[in-house]
Amino acid sequence: MEGGKKLKKRFAITTLALVLVFLSILMFYEPHSLKEATSRYNYFAPRVLYWGTQGQDVKNVQWQLVKWKYLIGKVDGIYGPETYRAVRRFQAKNGLRVDGIVGPETAAALGITLSSTPVSAQGVNRQGDEYLLARCIHGEARGEPYVGKVAVGAVVLNRVRDPRFPNTIAGVIYQPLAFTAVADGQINLTPDKDSIRAARDALNGWDPTYGCLYYWNPATATSKWIWSRRVTLKIGKHWFGI
Amino acid sequence: MERRRWWIAPSILGIALILALAWGYNEYRTKNELGVALENNYQRLFFDVKKHIENVQVNLSKAMLANSRDQNILLLSQIMNEAYFAQDKLAQMPITHAETAATEKFLNQAADYSYHLIQTHLAGKPITNEQMAALANLQQNSSAFNEELSKLQSELADKDFLFTALNAKQNKKIREANQKIFQTTLVNIEKNMAQTPELIYDGPFSDQTLNKKPKGLDNKDVSLEEARRKAREFFGANRVEEVESFEEGEHASEMRIPSYTFNLYPKNTSRELAVYMGVSKKGGHVLWMANPRPINANKISIEEAQRRALRYLEEKGFEDMEPNYYLKYDGGVLFNFVNTEDDVTIYPDLVKVKVALDNGEIVGFDASAYYMNHHDRDIDEPELTLEQARERIKTDFEINSSRLAIIPKGKNEILCYEFKGKYRGADYIVYINASTGHEEEILQLIHNENGTLTF
């Protein structure tokens, strides 16, 4: 009798625990994917300050953060680790999305408008492309040496200029079946500093591939067709070709 | 006690089961909704591509008949638009690049070629027989393309065809059947497109522009060992610990500028921080060098950096280089230098130099554009005077400076008067052809505290 009672008790506790686990999965699953979905829209904001950005806008943000004591440090116009942490603290305190990126919402909460330019030039800049390219590089070539990262960026840009491919950076990156990192969502990871630098170097004209349009990793490439490309150079783990 | 409790566990389990079912159903429904939305989008793209190709085809036939310049320009501008639309939408469909490359190229070049013909028309030149033949060819191609698409369209209407099933990990049978229908058509189209004769014209997507050969290299072949020595000397032989060359592929000679690429390991630095360098196989010129070391402090001014960059260029044998724009990023500043000859600025001969703002070291150098374009030029005397050229510009454009410059246009170069100035608070550069007086190009300059970008 005693044993049976204990067994039943244990059974009830285990089920209860299981149900709790299950319910918590249910509760936390949905909001998470929603959060991700909304965060994606914010990437397309007109002007965004993030790790590595420099300039007057960054100074303005730092100035405000120092004033409100989120940042203890100097106002140098460089978005470094301290500014990043301060922005995160500010976002957490003010119920904003905590991502360490100063987009329109965070800027508004800081009471700052980003950049002032003549009307005809308003919103014309390269930052959107830069950040998108950085995300693509981060997704595709995270473990590669620096030159391999720039090379991936250069391939994207060479494709933009080639008639066989779409004519915009976003068109090339999001072309279905073109990049595995886009298909499996790795492109939505926040790019690290090196990827952002590599994207800038590629946009400023550095092409270590001498005009290549394709690259693949011989260890993981699944497409048979890619092997028919003409190989010209090996950088890191990737073969580059035309 | 026991009697009262026996139902607890089963009912909790029951509730859990119901919750799980509800959740699963919800997931299932969401998945279906997303699937349908995606499928609808693909269907729309397909029908749009078909429509755009039809318009290209019809407008091409009209353009061949049209006799007046204005009508031709209108038709050609529509062809350009419709072809770009078709290409853009085709590239969004879930088809592999291998199956659409030639088709996309055809559409891009059709658009680009139309743009070229519009320019020919506007310049007042008659359409030549070759151009007529090219149009006829484009027309034939688009008809063939359209016919295949029509076949596909009716076949798709018959069967339960799903674009989403083309690549999804779904029912294998459906997927294979779908792929078969679709691929036969695509292969047919691709075959057709691949046979298109090369279009001869001047535009960014023309084969002649794409297959341009470098003009500025010496003709002497250089061995790997010699190139390695040149790379070492370029960086400073006493600073280099070791030079390692990149592995080459079978077709390395098909690069835009066939080159050896090296990793240079500087002395007293970790092996993570290599310097990269490309040396051309013809002539052994250093095409580019990049030292991506982190730069922490901003210690020197832009002016000082520019002086150092100029001195560096002189050391490396680039004379008469003129600094143009700069862009400050990641602790360095990148200068664009262009060649000058007899007071004419030659934009195609471009060399980029990046200076680290912490100690003034040169951390980036790129002369590939220079070696691509540099050659001995016979610069014509301008037919227009500066005043005559100035008259071609909008009167309220406030001109700050003017000079002669050679700018690239497709695969050619043209001599222009360059006018920099302000219009409605924004900065522009206007180029007026020095022999015809045509307004060749307008660039808008976007300044920020880090430098200038041209659009």
pLDDT of A36 reads 41
Residue ranges per domain, chain A?
56-115, 127-241
Structure tokens at B106: 């055809």
For A108-122, A219-233, B358-372, which range has the lowest pLDDT when averaged over its residues? Answer: A108-122
Residue B33 clears pLDDT 80, i.e. is over it: yes
- The radius of gyration of chain B from alpha carbons, rounded to an integer in Å, stands at 30
**A113 vs A127 pLDDT, higher one:** A127
B91 vs A125, A171, A210: nearest CB: A171
Q: Is the pLDDT of residue A56 over 80?
A: no
Q: Which residues of chain B have a CB within 8 Å of the CB of A233?
A: 246-249, 252, 255, 261
For the record, the structure tokens of A223 come out as 């497409």
Q: What is the Cα Rg of chain A in Å?
A: 24
- Ranges of beta strands (E only) in A86-228 are 214-216
User: What's the pLDDT at B306?
Assistant: 93
In whole angstroms, give the CA distance from residue B300 to residue B357: 5
* Residue B257: per-residue pLDDT: 92
Architecture in CATH for domain A127-241: Orthogonal Bundle (1.10)
Q: Is A127-241 in the same CATH topology as A56-115?
A: no
CA distances from A73 to A102, A103, B104 (A): 18, 22, 53
What is A56-115's CATH topology? Muramoyl-pentapeptide Carboxypeptidase; domain 1 (1.10.101)
Task: Write out residues 270-309 of B within 8 Å (CB-CB) of A.
Answer: 274, 276, 278, 288, 290, 292
Regarding pTM above 0.90, the answer is no
- Dihedral angle of Cα B159, B162, B167, B172, to the nearest 10 degrees: -50
| Segment A44-60 mean pLDDT | 71
Higher pLDDT, A154 or A11: A154
Mean pLDDT calculated for residue range B245-252: 88
Among A161-175, B24-38, B88-102, B388-402, the least confident range: B88-102
Q: Do B255 and A146 touch (CB under 8 A)?
A: no
If phi > 0 it is left, if psi is from -120 to 50 it is alpha, else beta; for residue B408 that is beta
Share of chain B above pLDDT 90, in %: 51
The CATH number of the domain covering residues in B386-454: 3.10.450
Confidence class for position B23, pLDDT limits 50, 70, 90:
very high
Domain boundaries, chain B: 12-210, 224-373, 386-454
- What whole-number distance in Å separates Cα of residue A169 and Cα of residue B80? 20
Is residue A39 pLDDT above 50, yes or no? Answer: no
Mark which residues 51-80 of A lie under 8 Å from B by CB.
Answer: 52, 54-56
**DSSP 8-class letter at B198:** P
Q: Rounded distance, CA A67 to CA A127, Å? A: 28
> What distance in Å separates residue B112's CA from the closest CA in chain A?
9
Instruction: Average the pLDDT over each of A91-100, B157-166, B266-275, B345-354 and give the range with the smallest value.
Output: B157-166
Copy the structure tokens of residue A213: 């349009």
Exposure of B328 in the CB half-sphere (CA atoms within 13 A):
21
What's the complex ipTM?
0.89
